[in-house]
Chain A
Amino acid sequence: MTSTENKYILLKGNEAIAMAAIRIGCDGYFGYPITPQSEVLETLCNEKPWETTGMVVLQAESELASINMVYAGGATGKRVMTSSSSPGVALMQEGITYMAGAEIPGVIVNVQRGGPGLGTIQPSQADYNQSTRGGGNGDYEVIVLAPASVQEMADFVETAFDLAFKYRTPVIILSDGIIGQMMEKVMLPPFKARKTAEEIATLYPWAATGRDMKRKNNIFTSLDLDQERHERHNIHLQQKYATIKEEEVRYEEIMTEDAEYLVVAFGSAARIAQKAIEDCRSEGIKVGLLRPITLWPFPTKRVAELAGQVKGILCAEINAGQMVQDIRLAVEGKTPVSHYGRMGGMVPTPEEIAEVIRKQLVQE
């Protein structure tokens, strides 16, 4: 591993997730293979971190088992994670809402493929709603980070754990088959030791670390048969979500300063849209890109500000139109908002998006 210190190496997005997890002091990974994310588990098994950092890597018997292992590991204050692809993450939704309810930190990586159902194994972004609207029951939110490069796949693992523990919440890294399967240069994060039992006991007094006689039991459950107390718990959760919305919005802007038109895209679609924008700029069309990095919390304020600046907004996604709903909520009718997407594992080309910018966005 020493040969990879402080230099750029070539990795797949999935490999970068695994390598970064080992380095940032992740305590455990529980997962079940599914295309297009199987390299996460495969890389972890090749790297054998249980022999070096002591990180546990386990191929669970199912996605349900994986997410419930994350529930249990997170409850003990350990940095644990799972990864899967769309249908596998659909299976995990119950575990995710239980984690949200019981305020258990953990990281879930979704390398999306086409749906609905078992769908296809090719790239897609059709789990935007599943991630940001909660596939599980109840009033809960999940922080959703959308990497657009292999470097961000590596960087967001630690970001996700930091947010998960800061707010005691599950965090989803919403990637897709393009970012998962592609190779790019990446600088891996430096090694950090896993937290010791003493550090966990001090930092996370809420964690189930084994009771001594001085404190009450730390019990994790999302069930409360006292509805008044449970409403107070819900109010507490909502206050927490309000803080996250205020403090954790992340986005990137490219060529928006003088933009007359705006494209909003996340993850791999943002990369494809950027090429389309470069081509349109070379023809004199003043178009910029807003790339939400947190899909929840969504950069609502910034979209609203840009809506006052531009003549039209195009949302480019690899789905039938999901994030476009959040854009419309932010824009509140101030400027026209249109959508372009492909579905079922088909991926738009930069030329397709450029043509929509020329013919649809600019004409409107």
Chain B
Amino acid sequence: MKKEFIIAGFGGQGVLSMGKIFACSALMEGHEVTWFPAYGPEQRGGTANVTVIVSDERISSPIISQFDVAIILNQPSLERFEETIKPGGILIYDGYGICTPPKRKDISVYRIDAMDMAATMNNVKSFNMIVLGGLLKVVPIVNTENILQALRDTLPTRHHHLIPMNEEALRKGMEIVTPLHTL
């Protein structure tokens, strides 16, 4: 098993943290992982992306240009990464602020209105965990319990009281992710 993910959106949306929690839980389940961010001038409001590879064998290149799964959280990222999804791959996108929906017919497309749900939940910061919930529903590569353990491991202790809220966000994400076009 080897799956290559790109997670892309605005800086400040929690793209890198979401990738880290995901990678950390995959590691707990005994997989090889690499997490490589587009680091540098990325900032709040700019674009941010991270490549996560999960594999059962030693991973050679952390740098790749084609992906099995793309999680797209804004219009500029959709324009940049839609074409990089392998035929037969998966695109999950947040509908908020997307003016031009994805066009590919040779991939499965899922929509998750995580931004709206985060607003409904009155907690904007839960956005990335809602998206992660959606991802885990579509690609159940790690189990929820390990995601929560990864959260406990990566969050400073002073934020541990937020874990139940994150669990709720994951569950919501699993509920609201909707297939638009499946192969």
Contacts and interface: CB of A to CB of B under 8 A. Distances in A.
Contact of A274 (B34, B35, B40, B61): B61
A276 B65 CA distance: 12
Nearest to B150: A10
Contacts of A349: 63-65
B65 A10 contact: no
Given A35-B40, A122-B40, A182-B36, A10 B62 contact: no
Given A185-B27, A271-B60, A275-B60, A10 B35 contact: yes
Contact of B35 (A36, A182, A276): A182
Interface residues on A, range: 20 to 34
Interface residues on B, range: 20 to 34
* Of listed B27, B33, B37, B64, residue having the most chain A CB within 10 A: B27
A347 interface: yes
A64 interface: no
* Of listed B33, B36, B41, residue having the most chain A CB within 10 A: B36
A55 interface: no
B63 A177 contact: no
A36 B66 CA distance: 25
A77 to B, nearest CB: 37
A94 interface: no
Interface in A161-206: 177-178, 181-185
A148 B35 CA distance: 14
* Of listed A122, A183, A347, residue having the most chain B CB within 10 A: A183
A351 interface: yes
Interface string A266-280: 001001101110100
A54 interface: no
* Of listed B24, B35, B37, B60, residue having the most chain A CB within 10 A: B60
Nearest to A350: B61
A50 interface: no
B65 A351 contact: yes
Contacts of B35: 10, 182-184
Given A10-B27, A271-B61, A274-B60, A178 B33 contact: no
B36 A350 contact: no
A181 B37 contact: yes
Contacts of B39: 35-36, 121, 177, 181
B61 A272 contact: yes
A177 to B, nearest CB: 7
Contacts of B65: 349-351
B33 A272 contact: no
A10 to B, nearest CB: 5
A181 B20 CA distance: 12
Contacts of A35: 39-40
B62 A350 contact: no
A183 B61 contact: no
B60 A8 contact: no
B68 interface: no
Interface in A272-322: 272, 274-276, 278
B32 interface: yes
A209 to B, nearest CB: 41
Contacts of B73: none
B23 interface: yes
Contacts of A268: 62-63
Nearest to A271: B61
Contacts of B41: 121
A358 B129 CA distance: 43
Contacts of A10: 20, 23-24, 27, 33, 35
B63 A347 contact: yes
Contacts of A271: 60-63
* Of listed A122, A184, A268, A276, residue having the most chain B CB within 10 A: A184
23 contacts: A10-B27, A35-B40, A36-B39, A122-B40, A181-B36, A182-B35, A183-B20, A183-B33, A183-B34, A184-B33, A184-B35, A185-B33, A268-B63, A272-B61, A274-B61, A275-B60, A275-B64, A278-B60, A348-B63, A349-B63, A349-B64, A350-B64, A350-B65
Interface of B: 20, 23-24, 27, 32-37, 39-41, 59-66
Which 7 residue pairs across A and B have the least CB separation, nearest first? A275-B61, A183-B35, A274-B60, A275-B60, A182-B36, A349-B65, A272-B61
